[in-house]
Amino acid sequence: MYKIQLTMEKSFRYSICEPLNPEIIEKGQIDQKQIVKTFQEFPWGKYLTDSANAKDTEIYYSPSLEFENTSNKNGLTASAVGDPGNFEFYLFYKRPKMGSKLFGLIKKLDENYISDITGQTEKDVIECLNALIRDDVNFLENKFK
């Protein structure tokens, strides 16, 4: 008798926010092996410089990258804030999560439950991206407590 082992291939998508563009730019699918590299090569400093040189009314977003595992709907968004030469990241973790209302009497699934943390370094973001890639929801839940 043969044993068949099925492994589910993970599928990821990503989008970007440019500070001076009012539209969120959907980039489509991305290979999980390219996620960290895409984050590292994103022109964070350039976008922060663009923001620093623009009027407040011309700025729509902080420079941001969102990655989502399309099979389980878990996603991370990294957003840079601060000076172009000295910035930090805000991280947003989106996932489906059960929530309670009316003192716990009613439970409802929130498809886009979001937690955030501030003051993150490039290393922190890469740790979280790697956890997203390997589906380590325990790591992410603990990080975003």
Per-residue pLDDT reduced to its tens digit, 88-120:
999 999 998 867 666 667 677 778 899 999 999
pTM score:
0.86
How is the chain classified by DSSP, letter by letter? Answer: -------PPP-EEEEEE-TT-SS-EEEEEE-GGGHHHHHHHS-HHHHHHHHHTS-GGG-----EEEEEETTTTEEEEEEEEEETTEEEEEEEEEEEEEEEETTTTEEEEEEEEEEEEEEE-HHHHHHHHHHHHTT-HHHHHHHT-
Per-residue pLDDT reduced to its tens digit, 35-50:
999 999 999 999 999 9
For 108, residues 6+ apart whose C-beta sits below 8 A from its C-beta are: 98, 99, 100, 101
Average pLDDT over residues 73-102: 90
Confidence of residue 18 (pLDDT cuts 50, 70, 90): very high
